[in-house]
Amino acid sequence: MRLRLLLDLASRQLASRSHSGVVRTVSVLSVSGIAIGVASLLLLQAFMSGFQDSISSFLSAANAPLLAYAPGSELLDGGDADLIAGVAASIPGAGGISPFIEKAAVASGNNGEIAGVIVRGVDWESEYAVTGLGGILGPPPGGAVLGKDLAARLAVSEGDSVRLASSESATITAAGRALVDTIISVPVARVCDFGLEEYNSGLVLTERGLAEALFDLRGRYTAVGIGLEPGADGLSVAARMAGELRDEFVEARHDRFMLCEAFLTRHENLFRAFGLERLAMSIVLGLITVVALLNLSSALSMIAMEHRRDLGVLRAMGASPMSVIGIALTQGSLLAVCGCGAGMAFALVVQALADTILPIRLESSVYWIDVLPARLDPGFAAAVAAFTVMACLLASLFPALRSLSVPPAECVRNE
């Protein structure tokens, strides 16, 4: 049968106004069901990956992809850093290194507020080489960089200065009072949006020399950041690094431990929770889609029933069994294409709105980020579409086979 005739027969049956419009209504309803199922699956995927990707990209932007550190907060020295640099150079995929100091301190600004902060002292040049900080900060600043929420809390802006006090070298007197002996005043060079609430409200980035002075750690580091070459897999490079470092440190020289891990594994629980949540939601929405498909198959059965006589007449006029199946499959694919198309279009529109004029705001102290981005994955969309079309074709096949199993006379007999 020619395609045009097939499409004609299939589509006119679907849009049939006769039989008191029931067929048309049922077609529209089942298409809407599929559209809703498809749209909710796609949007779930889009927002969950948008959320996860943006948290992980903000996390990774401000940190080196791999970290080497000694367990138990033991400090590292220049010799350790050289060893680590040597190991990193020998492993494909690992990049340069950037030793840094990161410790808790207390900050105060113009309004008498005091805030607990994390001070990270870095060498700007090597830090820029292993992290994405350059993209956030621009040229290396000549002073401290504060997260925007922290700056607001301390009522400081660029050009002001903050005082940083370390509790590190406090001594406890007999009276039990802590005496802080290091207070340093630094100019605020930048106030910066790191994208993550955790950093915006508590991170102070400085030149490493200043952190050395603040924490009294001349020539020593708390950890070493290691870069990753583009395309390298962080987890496997981290695993190789860890193995090599153990050989180097435990067995060969120092008789102590040195660990290496991918930065994001520090947040493994978070990502695992995301994964679980996503799985649960996917199951629920997948079930919605299955319900929509069942609804479609009953709609197709009904349409086939309503047009039972027409199918009998077509067979009497010489439509082959393949044509009858062809009509049904065409109907199934028309409904699938309309449903999938509408669902995808809806998802795309929501994504476009969320990315432009109607951003979805989040409470950043709860969700870490303040705008929820949507990231539709074309591969996932294609998989959903393929599944839906296959299921629609299957659903349309059964009524057709059933109507073929009776002789045409049954269908054309006068009721």
Q: Summarize as ranges the residues that interact with another protein (CB under 8 A).
A: 1-2, 4-5, 12-13, 15-18, 309-310, 312-323, 404, 407-410, 412-414
The residue among 24 and 220 lying less far from another protein, judged by its C-beta, is 24
Q: Which is nearer to another protein, 183 or 409 (CB)?
A: 409
User: Which residue has 């660029």 as its token pair?
Assistant: 158
Smallest gap from residue 378 Cβ to another protein (A): 37
400, two tokens: 């057709």
Closer residue to another protein in complex, CB, 19/267? 19
What secondary structure does DSSP assign to 56-124, as a single string?
A: HHHHHHTS-SEEEE-GGG--EEHHHHHHHHHHHHHSTTEEEEEEEEEEEEEEE-SSS-EEEEEEEEE-H
Q: Tokens in use for 358?
A: 């109607």
The residue among 29 and 412 lying less far from another protein, judged by its C-beta, is: 412
Looking up tokens 């609430």 gives: 197
How do 114-122 and 203-207 pair as beta strands? parallel
Q: Rounded to the nearest whole angstrom, what is the least distance from the CB of residue 59 to another protein in the complex?
A: 59
CB of 12 to another protein, least distance (A): 4
Which CB atom, from 278 or from 402, has the smaller least distance to another protein? 402
The end-to-end CA distance of the chain, in Å, is 29
Q: Measured from the CB of residue 329, what is the shortest distance to another protein in angstroms?
A: 17
Q: Per-residue DSSP letters for 368-404?
A: S-SEE-----HHHHHHHHHHHHHHHHHHHHHHHHHHH
Q: Which C-beta is closer to another protein: that of 26 or that of 101? A: 26
Half-sphere exposure of residue 73, counting CA atoms within 13 Å on the CB side? 3
**Nearest approach, Cβ of residue 402 and another protein (Å):** 15
For the bound state, the minimum distance from the C-beta of residue 338 to another protein, rounded and expressed in Å, comes to: 18
Smallest gap, in angstroms, from Cβ of residue 305 to another protein? 15
- Closest approach, Cβ 31 to another protein, in A, equals 18
Nearer to another protein, 93 or 326 (CB): 326
Q: Which two tokens stand for residue 97?
A: 């290194």
Q: Using CA atoms, how far apart are residues 196 and 266, in angstroms rounded to an integer?
A: 16
What number of other Cβ atoms are within 10 A of residue 303's Cβ? 26
* CA atoms lying within 13 Å on the CB side of residue 391: 22
In terms of CB distance, is 392 or 411 closer to another protein?
A: 411
Based on CB atoms, which residue is closest to another protein, 217 or 319?
319
Tokens in use for 338? 């309309």
Rounded to the nearest whole angstrom, what is the least distance from the CB of residue 406 to another protein in the complex? 10
The residue count for the chain: 415
Give 3's Cβ-side CA count (13 Å radius): 1
DSSP 320: -
CA angle 126, 267, 215 (to 5 degrees): 50
Question: Which CB atom, from 12 or from 253, has the smaller least distance to another protein?
Answer: 12
Facing residues of 103 across strands? 119
- How many angstroms separate the CA atoms of 389 and 412, rounded? 32
Residue 366 CB, nearest distance to another protein (Å)?
Answer: 56
